Amino acid sequence: MRVTVGIDDDGVAHVEMCRGAGNAIDLATATGLLAAARECAAARVRAVLLTGRGPAFCVGGDLKEFGALPAERLAGHLTDVTDALHAALRILAGLDAPLVAAVQGAVAGAGLGLAMAADLGFAAADAHFTAAYTAIGYSPDAGVTWLLPRLVGPKRALDLLLTNRRVSAAEALEMGLVSRVVEPERLREEAVQAARGLAHGATGAYGVTRRLVADAGAAGLDEQLDAEARRLAATAVSGEGREGMAAFLGRRPPDFTRAPAR
């Protein structure tokens, strides 16, 4: 099994790439990520934690698998891999549940895309990030060309994509590739703690906020202001909004886990 998923009592889905070999993404891993994303959607989880077992989070595509294929089969195979991987990313992006990633060691190629897709990205201090695609004559996938310019700006994005230089965890934090850098021995603990904290929050409001931020890059100010106004009104009268207001007025902690998101 290339990818495992388990849902804990807090409603956190623990999705782990566990194939060894740097968790390189072959077709089985891509389809495993898609199956895990579908399970998260079906179970209506409250947060998702994405990790990679072993010394590396994900080194990108499985070049050994790709290189072993005859030329006439390679394009079709890569399409199958990216179709599954991209479908997984679309599902995760469409959830109300926030996505948390904990990354360590090598984060390259599609692994970079998976890391950047997280709403909260935790990096071990020894993590390092490389685009890697053009070094072998490939172009990027996994949302890298959409996410990277939005996080670091187009000039920095092209620097990373064309030169394939290695970025340390500290520089990744400064650039905005990750949210926090922690000591390696505390990586999993802090990421789990953050995911469980989010799982007790207002999942419906999180989903609206995720979509507002994602849509903002393509919207003008007027359009974005209108969208914010509509969605604020909708969240205010939702079960979560009513619970949040009642808790504030009653000077008690809100219990969003019992309030309907809509």
Euclidean distance between CA atoms 60 and 225, whole angstroms? 38
Is the per-residue pLDDT at 262 higher than 70? no
Is the per-residue pLDDT at 10 higher than 80? yes
Helices (H) then strands (E): counts for the chain: 11, 9
Stretch 36-57: mean pLDDT, rounded?
97
CATH class of 3-199: alpha beta
The SS3 call for residue 32 is helix
The answer to whether the pTM exceeds 0.75 is yes
Residues sharing a CB contact under 8 Å with residue 138, sequence separation 6 or more, in sequence order: 61
Residue 134 CA to its chain's centroid (Å): 23
Residues sharing a CB contact under 8 Å with residue 193, sequence separation 6 or more, in sequence order: none
Per-domain residue ranges for the chain? 3-199, 203-258
Q: Which of 121, 119, 142 is nearest to 52 (CA)?
A: 121
The SS3 call for residue 117 is coil
pLDDT band at 1 (very low <50, low <70, confident <90, very high): confident
Counting every residue written for the chain, the total comes to: 262
Do 203-258 and 3-199 have the same topology in CATH? no
pLDDT tens, residue by residue, 48-71: 999 999 999 999 999 999 999 999
Quick one: 203-258 is in which CATH superfamily?
Answer: Lyase 2-enoyl-coa Hydratase, Chain  A, domain 2 (1.10.12.10)
Euclidean distance between CA atoms 235 and 230, whole angstroms? 9
Euclidean distance between CA atoms 96 and 178, whole angstroms? 20
The SS3 call for residue 168 is strand
pLDDT band at 258 (very low <50, low <70, confident <90, very high): confident
Tokens of 16: 């782990």
**What percent of the chain is modeled with pLDDT above 90?**
95
